[in-house]
Each structure stands twice: as structure tokens, then as C-alpha cells.
Structure 1
Amino acid sequence: MTALVTAPSFWHASLPTPVVSRPALPGPRDADVAIVGAGYTGLWTAYYLKKADPSLRIVVLEAQYAGFGASGRNGGWCSALFPSSLAKVAKVAGSKQAAVDLQRALNGAVDEVGAVAAAEGIDCHFSKSGTVVLARSEVQLERAREEIAEFREYGFGEEDHRLLTAEEARAEVHATEVLGATYTPHCAAIQPALLARGLADVVERMGVEIYEQTPVTSIWHGEARTPYGSVTAETVVRATEGYTTTVGGFKRDLIPVYSLMLATEPLPEETWAQIGLSKRQTFSDGRHLIIYGQRTADGRLAFGGRGAPYHFGSSIKPEYDREPRVQAELKQVLTELFPVLGDVKVTHTWGGALGVPRDWFASVGLDRAARLAWAGGYVGDGVGATNLAGRTLADLIRGQRTELTALPWVGHRSPKWEIEPLRWIGANLGLRVMDSADAEEARTGRPSRRARVFGRFLGA
């Protein structure tokens, strides 16, 4: 039975046609590969497996519908970002070159997403114009200089990352109090729900079976268990990201942390002339409590940020998608950046859960003895990274040793999160620390000591 569903975000609401969910699993199934989760990770894995070996029997199981979670609700940054720094990756891998290899693979993933979207006829509004991260205080400017210095230390030149002067930064983004910025070309603005829904249609045409409205309750030794029967496979792929805690046995692997967004009404060109973003660059600034924005293809400003609380017991509920206080604060920040938006109407607010590992280090892996593969922990930087993860999982599952399977996130095991109430205390303390760190820097004009100390708690 199919069902018309309510749009949980602006991206879903602006799809050409409303989402109609696919039928649930009709009963037990055997497969070569069972994939739990029809977000980007699961769909890219199915795509590259099927491209490499069309004979593979692949079943995708999804609790709601393809693109329901973070894949359909995110900020629309197809970036080369990784949640851990180059220095941390090098430390974990024991090699600077390994960190460089991972970063270059992520850079390439941005172009790969665009190439596949074009080849498969997925019009996801892909526009690769890079990311501008504004420095709006001397402290933020110094962090920007340090970031670029680190990239230089690892061999990345101006073609990959560069420091912009105040004048150059303001030419890209006409925000207030701009002292400079960093710029990287390795990011594209997209309409994320269009990409997720388009990928689902593509893999289904390739012969992949997708069953929606089918929650997986547990995974055990090649068996994905659902209320409608089990799918037994040589390999089960856990591609559940922010919803990992809903699958039995994985309660402390990742925690769901909410990121919230808003979208304005379409803006006239005279307003855009006062904002910038003429090439649909994505943008942020150097504060600790993350913000992010893009100019949509239909001329809105989609803007989001962290600030929502972590909910006790890793709880996920639809009512958490909207936190009026946080979304009002986001509108205030947006108006501080661009005063011309003070009276502009916000037409949509939404949010969603992203997956955070204990050490903020995304990973890809395969335990052949347990017949389990996984990828995730992107901490909100997954649109590009999921593509790389999908290609890597396809190689791992098929037993191929490639440049991708040698990357340092392959086989990484993050520590488990603490039991409650410790993780509730720690996660929400971290939120308050980062929020207060920005206020501290604004007050003192010096880097926040509390942010540096808490960074060590995260393993930075």
C-alpha cells in the first residue's frame, strides 16, 4: 500500500510532485546485499554496487521513504568537508599523506555527485561555486589564517583553499562586519531532496528493490529484521546515520543531534544585489556554533544552524524538527548578517537529526565475519562524503582492494557514547560551551579557552 506523505522540509515541499511512499516489504527476502536506510549512503552504495555488478540482488529497507531523513532536509551543501581536521586524521592514521589522500578523495566526490546527477538526469539544482566562510572578528580572522596555514602544510595550494581579503570577501558575500574569509571551490549548492528522490528512482530502474514504510528493528549476522519479516543477505549495510539508535544493538554508536533551518520567501533581484551570492556560493562564518546558508535556485535564502538541544535517551520525534526559540535566533543572526532581510517573511522552518560519533570521526567499514558493513558519522557534512562512502562500500563488499579502501576512515571504530544521563549532560554542555564561547570572544576579543578545552573532550 502506498501513501501520500506530508512534506517535512522546504526541500520536500518544493519537489515537482508530492512524495508517494513505496510499498512495505511484503515478506521475508533473500538478497546478496541488504541496505538499511534509503538516504544518500544507502542509495549511493546501491548505485555503485549495481553499476559494478548488475547481477547482484540488492534490497533497500527504509523506515519512512527515500530521502526522509537528513538526506532530504540538510543545508544543500555538497562539500568536501570532513568532521575531523587534517591534523586529527593524520594522527589517527599515523600519516600526513593518508590525511591528504582522504581530503583529495572528498574534493573529487563533489564533482562525482555532479557528474552522476547529469548522467542520470537528476536535476538537483547542482551549482558548484564554492564556499565562503566569513571572518567577522579578529579572532575569527586569525582562525581563518591558521586554517589556511594547515592546508598549506599538507600541500594544498590556492586552487583548493585560499584566504580572502576583506574586499574580496565582501565581493562574494555582502554581509556586515566582514574582515576577510576563507574560500574553497570544492562545494556545490544543491536541492537535497531532489538528489535523494532522484537517486532512489535511478537505482530502482537499475533493478534494486526498495521497500519503504519498513523499519528495521535489529541487524544480526546477515539478517535485517523488520515487522514484516527478515531480509537475509551475505552483507547487511547499516546506513542509518542519525537514526542509528533506532536499530537494536547500536544505541550508543551515534547520537542524533538536531540541526534546524529556515527558508525565506523568494527575494527580488534588488535584495540579492545587497546580499551577494550571485553565483549561488554557499556561506558560513567563523563562529563556534555552526551556521550555514545558500541561495536556492528559486531565489530564496535557506539558512540553518546548530543550537537545538540533544534529547535524553537519543530520542527522535517530529516535534523536535521545529524549535521556535532556536529558529527565531537563526532569523536574528540572518538579519545581523544581512540587515536588508529584517522584514522578509520566513515561509518554512524545519529540522532533522544528524549522526554524531563520539570522536567526531566519520567511518566506513566491513566486518565480513559479522556480515555487516557500515558508513556514517558525518556530523552534518555528508552530502559529498556519502558519495565517497558509497563507492568505498561497493569496493569493500565486492572484495576489491583499491585506493578508496585504503583511505584512513576505512575500518575506523569510534568509541561508544557514554550511557545516560552522562551523554545527555555532555552533549548539552558542549552546546552551551560553544554558544558561550562565541559570546566570550565577542566580549574579550581573544580566542575562547573553554572552546579549546572542550575540543579536547571531543578528541580534536
Structure 2
Amino acid sequence: MSELDGASSTPLWLDDPARPAARPPLIGDTTADLAVVGGGFTGLWTALLALDEEPHRSVVLLEAGRIGAAATGRNGGFCAASLTHGVGNGMARWPDEMPLLHRLGLENLDAIAQAVDELGIDCDFERTGELDVAVADWQLQGLREDAEALRRLGEQPELLGPEETRARVSSPTYRGGLFDGRGVAMVHPARLAWGLAAAVEERGASLHEGTRVTGVRDAGDRVELATPHGTVRARQAVLGTNVFPSPVRRHRAFVVPVWDHLIATEPLSAQQRSSLGWEGREGVGDAGNQFHYYRLTADDRLVFGGYDALYYFRSDLSPRRERRPETERMLYRHLVETFPALEGVRIGHTWGGAIDTSTRFSASWHRACGGKVASVLGYTGLGVGATRFGAQVSLDLLAGRDNERTGLAMVRRKPVPWPPEPVRWAGIQLTRRSIARADAHEGRRDVWLRTLDRLGLGFDS
């Protein structure tokens, strides 16, 4: 009998009695000052921030499925300050702007913590920080480089030796670590989304689930958003579709869906929990190209994911991709290799979800319909925190604001779009194989990866 037998296919965060009942779909035509497409973090933060700016603004939010049920409710629950997919990626792409990007990211995380507190959202928000661990000697240099970059930005990260790392979290696989105490929080992501949705409704917004937007059209001083059973005519709109095909076709080439999988144990026994140490409850990620991330929940389950990032031909998003037994078994093997004392622990939940991946691994902003529509997408796995910043910049762009956010090169310039099929599929598969070879050969990058590095492209698992 396998430890995965009987595991629920419902993502852990969504398998919660606190999940609200579905809201009704839009039936008939309506008007609004602002239409928001997408009921994930991007859309919810957009609606909340818009109503904080203008309490009397009429806002309609349209979600094709259930609020928080896609990437928002399927991630590991890491809420990071980074807007650039880590300090290394940011330094490589926007070195001159990194002090500003770093400050804005920390301010954004502080604002999320403040909103959770002021709105009274019960989402297990813990400002724990994150421990990056080396599980091979070649990964130590990358940790040293990240530590130095953080110091140049005014941080005081702790670079740890093997024993110091294992004193924080007890695993025989650790060769060293880097602890950043300010830049990451742990959160129950679905409860955060549900709390934001309730706050938006309390401010007067209309939320509609089961309402797919099939098209967006410029209609003079308004935009028209078509749905199966009605049309929304709005002065402005923000699109937060992320991994799902945008109703503005030309925006679709800027992201591809990469599938990520996670497993979650049953609540650990007192003995199992004690074997891990882990008194700081920080999030943990290892420093390989193919990497794991893992954390403890409020009821002491271990959530363990990552490593096997998968792209399917023609950007397949069908629900059949949500379970992949070979990846689930691999994650279990890696969990037990990391924590041998958990050999035999039962898995309660296993699930997958798609991440909107950009060629620069971070968000980009796009306009349509004469500037009345703003779109943000491409968070590449760090959207739990960065979506609030993405929403704020989208509202800035619609308002025509010239400020430190809209002046960023990250905002003004678009990433390289993904190529069409079959070149897209072939390039991603070649990159995945090269990344696996690099991990197996002390991080040495082959000609293909070095070429992508020079072009500022690549694929981050």
C-alpha cells in the first residue's frame, strides 16, 4: 500500500470548511466604472485598491470559475517581497533599479500584512522569512552571491554553515544555507483570497463567478466585455487572467503555462514534528536549478512541491494535468530523502496547478483599447505577493500617473514573447533537459543554457 493511496485531489488550501458558497454568474447587461477580469489575487487586489482610492467607484469583478481556485489557491503559500523573482534575477536584468525595486517589494509585503490585520482576515499570515538551502556543494556559491547582493541592498542575511543550517531545520541533505528574515511570509492563500473577496463586496463591488469573459471591445468612451449571458460596459478594465488565455489575443504570447505539483502530509505527530526542529517555521527552498520548496501549515502538515516543472504542447490547461502520479511519487521520495524521520508518513492531499511563466520570470504590463484596458501577467510563481504590486501599477497606468512605479523599466518594457508552436514546445523541452544535466554535473551550464543566459531568456523550474 502506497503512502499516497487515498490522497485527496483537492488542493489542501481549497479543502476547507471556510470556503464560501459560489457567487451567482452575471445574467444580463450592466455598467461599471471599472471591470476586473479574474478572481485571483490580481483581480481581488485591483478591486480592493480601486475602492480604497475611490470608495464611490462602481466595480464589477468577473471570474470564469471560482474565486481563488486557480494559481491563487494551488501554490505553496509563500508570500514573497521580491518583485523580480529573486535578487539574482533582478540584479541581472535591472541592476540600476534594484534598490528601488527592493524597497517597493518590501513596502508591498508590509502593505499586505497591514491589510490582513486591518481587514481581520484569518489566513495564518506569519512573517517567518525564508531559508534557502544548498543540497550540493556547487550551490553554495550561488547562496554567497545572493547574500552579497542582499547586503548591497541594505539587508542583513545570515549565511549559514551546514550545522547552523541543520540547527534551523534538521535535514542530513543540507550543506549550507542563507536565511532572509524580512523578505517572505507564510500564508493560507485561499483564505487570503476569500477574505479579500469579502472585503471587496463589503465596499460595494459586484462579484460574479462562473462568468467567462469571451471578448473585449473598444466602444468609444467605454469598453465592452462580452460574457455568455451578458455584457459589461465599463469606463476602464483590468485583466488579471494570468495563465489563462487573455481576451486580448495579442497579450497571450507573453506567458506560457508551466505545471507545478505539490503534496501535503497528514498532520505530523508530536514525535515527527520534533524530529524536524524547524522552530522558526520559515519557508524553505533549495538552491538547485530544479528546486523544491516546502513549509509547515498551521496544523503541522508538511507541504512539499516543485522540482518537476512541466509544459505541455499547445499550452494545454486541461484538468487532466492536475494529477501526475509519477511526479507525486517522485515528490514523496524527495521528501523522505530530505527528512528520513518521516519515512512512512501519509499524504493527505496531492495536486497540481499551472503557473504563468514569462521569459524574464517576472510580471509585465500591457495596454489595449486606447489605454482603457490594462493587463498584468507573468509572475512565474511569485504572484502571492507580487500581484498586489501588479494591481497597483495597473491602476496607476489607467489613471495616467507618472510615479516611481510607472517609471520602472520593468513596467515600461515588455519581455520577449514566447515563440509559436512547435518551436515553443521544442525550446522548453530542450531547456528542461539542459537544466537537469546542469544539476547532475555540479551546476555546469551547457551551450544552450549559456546562449539563453546571454539573450536574457531561459526557463526557471
Q: Is the TM value for this pair above 0.5? A: yes
Which moved further from structure 2: 172-181 or 396-405?
A: 396-405
The answer to whether structure 1 residue 193 and structure 2 residue 194 are counterparts is no
Paired with 2:84 and 2:351, the residues of 1 have a C-alpha distance of 23
> 2:154 corresponds to which residue?
156
> 1:3 corresponds to which residue?
none
SS of residue matched to 1:24: coil
> 1:146 corresponds to which residue?
145
> 1:336 corresponds to which residue?
337
Q: CA offset at residue 34 of structure 1?
A: 0.9
Paired with 2:388 and 2:184, the residues of 1 have a C-alpha distance of 13
Q: Are 1:253 and 1:415, in contact at CA under 8 Å, matched by a contact in 2?
A: yes
Equivalent residues, number: 445
* Residue identity in the other structure for 2:14: H
Paired with 1:413 and 1:72, the residues of 2 have a C-alpha distance of 27
Query: TM-score, normalization: structure 2?
Result: 0.90
Q: CA offset at residue 85 of structure 1?
A: 5.6
Paired with 2:323 and 2:47, the residues of 1 have a C-alpha distance of 32
Q: Work out which of the residue numbers 9, 12, 24 in structure 2 matches 1:10.
A: 12
Query: TM-score, normalization: structure 1?
Result: 0.91
SS of residue matched to 1:224: strand
SS of residue matched to 1:402: coil
Q: Are 2:217 and 2:369, in contact at CA under 8 Å, matched by a contact in 1?
A: no
* Residue identity in the other structure for 2:103: R
* Residue identity in the other structure for 1:196: A
5+ residue gaps in structure 2?
1-7
SS of residue matched to 2:411: coil
Q: CA offset at residue 8 of structure 1?
A: 3.5
> 2:35 corresponds to which residue?
34
Q: CA offset at residue 376 of structure 1?
A: 1.9
> 2:173 corresponds to which residue?
177
Q: CA offset at residue 114 of structure 1?
A: 1.5
> 1:380 corresponds to which residue?
381
> 2:3 corresponds to which residue?
none
> 1:350 corresponds to which residue?
351
Q: Deviations over 1:66-85 (max 9, x none)?
A: 10111111100001234556
SS of residue matched to 1:231: strand
Q: Deviations over 1:45-97 (max 9, x none)?
A: 1101101101111111100011011111110000123455657646655x61x
Paired with 2:288 and 2:87, the residues of 1 have a C-alpha distance of 19
Paired with 1:7 and 1:119, the residues of 2 have a C-alpha distance of 34
* Residue identity in the other structure for 2:211: T
* Residue identity in the other structure for 1:177: T
Paired with 1:126 and 1:429, the residues of 2 have a C-alpha distance of 39
Pairwise mapping of residues 90-109 of structure 1 onto structure 2 (< 5 A)?
96=96, 98-109=97-108
Q: Are 1:36 and 1:42, in contact at CA under 8 Å, matched by a contact in 2?
A: yes
Q: CA offset at residue 245 of structure 1?
A: 5.3
* Residue identity in the other structure for 2:171: A
Q: CA offset at residue 258 of structure 1?
A: 0.8
Pairwise mapping of residues 213-362 of structure 1 onto structure 2 (< 5 A)?
213-221=210-218, 222-244=223-245, 248-362=249-363
Change over 3 Å in CA distance of 1:47–1:280 after alignment to 2: same
* Residue identity in the other structure for 1:62: E
Q: Are 1:244 and 1:253, in contact at CA under 8 Å, matched by a contact in 2?
A: no
Q: Are 1:102 and 1:408, in contact at CA under 8 Å, matched by a contact in 2?
A: no
> 2:405 corresponds to which residue?
404
Q: Cα RMSD between the aligned structures? A: 2.2
Paired with 1:10 and 1:75, the residues of 2 have a C-alpha distance of 10
Q: Are 2:10 and 2:349, in contact at CA under 8 Å, matched by a contact in 1?
A: no
Q: Are 1:356 and 1:377, in contact at CA under 8 Å, matched by a contact in 2?
A: yes
Q: Deviations over 1:388-419 (max 9, x none)?
A: 22222233333333333333322331222111
Change over 3 Å in CA distance of 1:242–1:276 after alignment to 2: farther
Q: CA offset at residue 259 of structure 1?
A: 0.8
Change over 3 Å in CA distance of 1:298–1:90 after alignment to 2: closer
* Residue identity in the other structure for 2:457: G
Paired with 1:283 and 1:412, the residues of 2 have a C-alpha distance of 32
